[in-house]
Amino acid sequence: MHKQKTGMLICAGVGVLSCFLPWATLPIVGSINGMQGSDGIIMIVLLLPAVALALMGDKTQPLTGGKLHGAAIPAILASVLSIVKVVDFNSKMGDVGDNPFAQAMASTVSVGIGLYLLCVVGFVCAAIGYKMKADA
């Protein structure tokens, strides 16, 4: 298998797995993963083209042209959407007002590792795709 396709497959696979990891950690409730809402499914759908295109066709040849764009662009979109989720989460936790209970609760709630992984994985998948397409 070509190094580019292997790298993209591993990277997109990590992104899919990150949807099952904690996206938010709450002190009493525990953790919430991406599959507890529709957001995780959306992220998986955006990462599936990279997985599918890496497994299709001649595995010794790299993805180029439209196939490379078809794998990289949705993966980048998944990362951008996850960054928006992190920013939105942090802004909501920072805007609790004067309620001391809400402030105490907000200080213990944090973004989980799954969402942070997803922020990175789409950009890395695209970088691998474009950087390694000429390697034999």
| pLDDT at 136 (0 to 100) | 47
Residues of the chain with pLDDT under 70: 94, 96-97, 101-103, 105-106, 134-136
Q: Which helix (H) or strand (E) holds 130?
A: helix 113-131
Q: Domain extents for the chain? A: 3-131
Which of 113, 128, 126 has the alpha carbon at shortest distance from 17? 113
| pLDDT at 27 (0 to 100) | 77
| pLDDT at 64 (0 to 100) | 85
| pLDDT at 92 (0 to 100) | 75
| pLDDT at 16 (0 to 100) | 93
| pLDDT at 33 (0 to 100) | 83
Give dist(CA 44, CA 54) in Å, integer. Answer: 15
Q: Where are the beta strands (DSSP E) in 9-128?
A: 22-26, 30-33, 110-111
Q: Exposed/middle/buried for 123, CB within 10 Å: 0-12, 13-18, 19+? A: middle
